[in-house]
Structure 1
Amino acid sequence: MIKEVGIVDLPKRKRNRLKGYDYSNDGAYFVTICVQNKKCLFGTVGADSISARMVDKTFNEIIDKYPNVYCPKYVIMPNHFHALIHIERADMESAPTVSRIVQEFKRYTTIEYINLVKQGILPPFEKRLWQRSFHDHIVRNKNDYEMIWHYIDANPTNWEKDCFYE
């Protein structure tokens, strides 16, 4: 009998995206992206910060890059980011997926953040700026949309009750 050495039972990761769903389809998507280890790197709620302005500028540049994508509502919190992203293909053959948009957002904000760290403007982060993956929710109807809109609006006010509060 052969014994396998060094193999550990790892926990199974939960699938993050809806199986079989095309995330470049027309629709609205609610996304939450968290800073690694919930570190508050984007200032405090209600205060202007260099890091939050960088996130804001970078996010808008990415959204503006795609003519069939827009974001009517988002909020930058001290350690996470919420956005309501719309994809409308119209006559276009293809559109970026939500994952592609988030990937670009994470990549470019990380590059910009590192540049500001090198200039001595921002504190460094450990290993990575953003947590692996992101949370998403496909908006299903008007009621769902309005609840998400309100949630994003109320997020700064409810910061101390937020599950991401540290």
Structure 2
Amino acid sequence: MPYDPTRHHRRSIRLKGYDYTQPGAYFVTLVTHERMPLFGEIVNGEMRLNDIGRVAERCWLDIPSHFPHVALDAFVIMPNHVHGILWIVESPPETPEMPEMVGAKNFSPLPPPSSAERPRGTSKTIGSIVRGVKIGVTQWVRQNTDVHTVWQRNYYEHIIRHERALNAIRRYILENPLRWHLDRENPACTGPDPLAQAIWAMFREDDADHPNRGDL
């Protein structure tokens, strides 16, 4: 189908003017194409990764190897999406005993965005990190399976501005397999998730304080 600007125009969901290379914590979600359960299944409240899911997990864990300024926090591979907290740090972190908690002790709210702020280099942005994960998984999948399209276009992110949100998001990520029946990405979802609703409410409060937001 030829490109039709009236049908294919996509509003950017990134925050205009925000420097996505600046230190801070980001809640990131990547969703599979058409929400297909490519990464495994939930059994008795636990995520059982298949081969593609293990590749997705490995690509996520490899992020600091390719982006030394990034540290990993809590993350989870679900049947059809990935949730994770990424920290952009001032300098490459030392090898921690618990890499999923890197940055927590030094957490502070991010400053409000400024129209004068611009990314210092595309290789250090959240977008480039996400693209790296997507490319790594897609290459393996295309070489080893009949699946061609792995990911939904774009991704979702939210700047984590305070410790209350950080702790709630960590809990949501770690409990996601237990709450799969309430997950909005689950085609068989049985109802809304109160924890997710509380997090979205916090996001809306943040958006009210920073009205230029457009990601979630």
Moved more, 40-49 or 150-159: 40-49
Q: Give the ranges of 4+ consecutive aligned residues of structure 1 lying more than 4 Å apart after TM superposition.
A: none
State the alpha-carbon separation in 2 of the partners of residues 76 and 62 from structure 1: 15
State the alpha-carbon separation in 2 of the partners of residues 135 and 106 from structure 1: 13
Superposition TM-score, scaled by structure 2 size? 0.65
Matched, 1:19 2:21: no
Contact 1:64 1:70 in 2 (8 A): no
**Match of 2:30, SS?**
strand
State the alpha-carbon separation in 1 of the partners of residues 54 and 78 from structure 2: 12
**Match of 2:41, SS?**
coil
Higher helix share: 2
Which sections of structure 1, spanning at least 5 residues, go unmatched?
A: 1-6, 118-123
Q: Which amino acid aligns with 1:107?
A: I
Q: RCO greater where, 1 or 2, for CA within 8 Å and sep 6 or more?
A: 1
Q: Which residue number corresponds to residue 99 of structure 1?
A: 127
Contact 2:52 2:137 in 1 (8 A): no
**Match of 2:71, SS?**
strand
State the alpha-carbon separation in 2 of the partners of residues 53 and 8 from structure 1: 38
The share of aligned pairs that are identical, in percent, is 31
Aligned length: 152
Superposition TM-score, scaled by structure 1 size? 0.83
Q: Which residue number corresponds to residue 32 of structure 2?
A: 35
State the alpha-carbon separation in 2 of the partners of residues 26 and 157 from structure 1: 31
| 1:33-91 Cα shifts (integer Å, max 9, x gaps) | 00000000111022232111111112222332222211121100000000100001249
| Aligned-pair Cα RMSD in Å | 2.1
Contact 1:70 1:86 in 2 (8 A): yes
Q: Which amino acid aligns with 1:64?
A: S
State the alpha-carbon separation in 1 of the partners of residues 173 and 36 from structure 2: 20
Matched, 1:130 2:151: yes
Q: Which amino acid aligns with 1:159?
A: W
Contact 1:74 1:152 in 2 (8 A): yes
Residues 143-154 of structure 1 aligned to structure 2 (within 5 Å): 143-154=164-175
